[in-house]
Amino acid sequence: MEVGDIIQGLATLGLGAIITKLIDYATTRRREQRESQGKAWEERDREARARRILEEYAHKLRRNLFRRGAKEGPGEDDVAPWPDYHTTKE
């Protein structure tokens, strides 16, 4: 075995290790991104669920007020109009 063959063998082994490390890094990074995105979607779903619960509760309160004779209007003793909001950006 000549010196050139030894150097070539060492270079091949070193390059293989570098490529292996790069692949490991890329797969680890991608897995972390997927987990992060999954957690973000879970958080969004929790917040949306909480908003729906609050909206349902506000609706029940308004219904009870109207049943008891309250009216919708701008006055201090009136029930404020339901807020107008949009789900998309304008």
Q: 């107008």: which residue's tokens?
A: 84
86 DSSP 8-state letter: -
For the stretch 59-81, pLDDT in tens is: 999 999 999 988 888 888 888 88
Residue 19 has pLDDT above 80, yes or no: no
For the stretch 32-53, pLDDT in tens is: 999 999 999 999 999 999 999 9
* Alpha-carbon gap, residue 61 to 74, rounded angstroms: 18
**Longest Cα separation, the chain:** 101
pTM over 0.95: no
